[in-house]
Amino acid sequence: MVQSAAHHKETTPVYALGIDVGGTKIDAVLIDGDARIHAEAVLPTGALDGTDAVIDRIAQLIWQLLREAGDRRVIGIGIGTPGQVDAQLGVARAAINLGWADVPVLAKVRERLPDLPPLALANDVNALALGEYRFGAAQGARNLVYLALGTGLGGASIVEGRVTEGANGFAMEVGHMALNPNGRECVCGLRGCPEIYASGVGLMAGVDEYIRDYPETVLRSQATVSTPAILNAARDGDPLAMRLFNEAAEMLGQVMVVCAATLNPDVFAIGGGLGKAAADLLLPVAETYFATHLLYPAVERTRIVTASVERASIGAASLVMGG
């Protein structure tokens, strides 16, 4: 009987909640150990309403999904937020698009819901990387570098199963390092940062810089140029759009070289909305740059994949899943 009970305890399914706090919406999921979604809910972030209002919405989503979980064993709740995070203290140090500075997220959630299972907080890209490592295209990797190309460019690394945090939560801020000090001015104040080339912000900056040299580009005739418009133009062979994506891809390759020289990952996962949508334009050029600018032993066993975990909330849930 004792052996049977122990066996039952080991095989009882477990579940976790994941909360992704984005600039426009808060996405919440309840997943099992195979990342299958059993419940989900979304609320607008409403960052302009203030920090406490956003925390109220996070707590509301947690309460809703815990009720939907019913008798399922929920072992923890992971929360991902943008910007710099102190994971140990559960504090969001700097989340510019939320207007947050030194917000004790986990403490504030517990004030509203005292009897919760364990809570964990992470930078949203770190959470995405962990989700990819456990559930996505990087399964089986020992060491992973995750590069997220969206409006900006973010990075995360996992070494032997552990997310790299750094001394103050600033590790893998690969979007902001002056790889070309004579290059384009970045929004951060430096010049030649990867983000000002390999991101939505970078593509738009490239249009402003080069459009006068391309009188025939279709982008000139558009009242408002957008990242999807640049992507469509590149697929149609527009020379300006193709230049911008080649430039972005080479910069992505440079970032990969830096990461490989320092971390030697066995997998690079390229994610983010732009990274996945434009993988066919970005990865061939980036892979060639990577393979020709690094010693062969650092290249030969490295896989480069497109990220497959679609929701950052799944990555947030993986913060408490273990394994």
Residue 23 has pLDDT above 50, yes or no: yes
**pLDDT tens-place string over residues 227-263:** 999 999 999 999 999 999 999 999 999 999 999 999 9
The topology (CATH level 3) of 141-306 is Nucleotidyltransferase; domain 5 (3.30.420)
The three-point CA angle 262-266-268 to 5° equals: 80
Token pair, residue 152, equals 């900006």
Half-sphere exposure of 124 (CA within 13 A, CB side): 26
5, 20, 40, 287 from 54: Cα distances, Å: 42, 12, 18, 40
pLDDT digits (tens, 9 = 90+) for 99-123: 999 999 999 999 999 999 999 999 9
What backbone torsions phi and psi does residue 223 show, to the nearest 5 degrees? -65, -40
CA R_g for the chain:
21
The pLDDT of residue 6 is 42
- pLDDT value, residue 9: 44
What local confidence, expressed as pLDDT, does residue 27 receive? 97
What is the reported pLDDT for 296?
A: 87
What are the boundaries of each domain within the chain? 2-131+312-318, 141-306
Packing angle between helix 200-210 and helix 239-263, nearest 10 degrees?
A: 130
Mean pLDDT of all residues in 307-312: 91
Using a 10 angstrom Cβ sphere, with 0-12 exposed, 13-18 middle and 19 or more buried, the burial of residue 280 is exposed
Confidence at residue 297, expressed as pLDDT on a 0 to 100 scale: 85
How confident is the model at residue 83, as a pLDDT? 87
pLDDT at 5 over 50: no
Length of the chain: 323
Q: Is 84 helix (H, G, I), strand (E, B) or coil?
A: strand
280: pLDDT strictly greater than 70 = yes
User: Residue 323 — very low, low, confident or very high, per pLDDT cuts 50/70/90?
Assistant: low
The rounded percent of the chain whose pLDDT value lies above 90 is: 82
Spell out the SS3 assignment of the chain: CHHHHHHHHHHCCCEEEEEEECCCEEEEEEEECCCCEEEEEEEECCHHHCHHHHHHHHHHHHHHHHHHHCCCCEEEEEEEECCEEECCCCEEEEEHHHCEEEECHHHHHHHHCCCCCCEEEEEHHHHHHHHHHHHCCCCCCCEEEEEEECCCEEEEEEECCEECCCCCCCCCCCCCCCCCCCCCECCCCCECCHHHCCCHHHHHHHHHHHHHHCCCCHHHHCCCCCHHHHHHHHHCCCHHHHHHHHHHHHHHHHHHHHHHHHHCCCEEEEECHHHHHCHHHHHHHHHHHHHHCCCHHHCCCCEEEECCCCCHHHHHHHCCCCC
Tell me the helix, strand and coil percentages in the chain, rounded to 5: 45, 25, 35
pLDDT, tens only, 192-232: 999 999 999 999 999 999 999 999 999 998 888 999 999 99
Q: Whose structure tokens read 């759009």?
A: 241
> How far is Cα 311 from Cα 21, in angstroms, rounded to an integer?
11
Question: How many Cβ atoms are within 10 Å of 318's Cβ, its own excluded?
Answer: 30
Chain segment 116-168, per-residue pLDDT in tens: 999 999 999 999 999 999 999 999 999 999 999 998 999 999 999 899 988 88
The larger pLDDT score, comparing residue 1 to residue 282, is at: 282
The fold adopted by the segment(s) 2-131+312-318 is Nucleotidyltransferase; domain 5 (3.30.420)
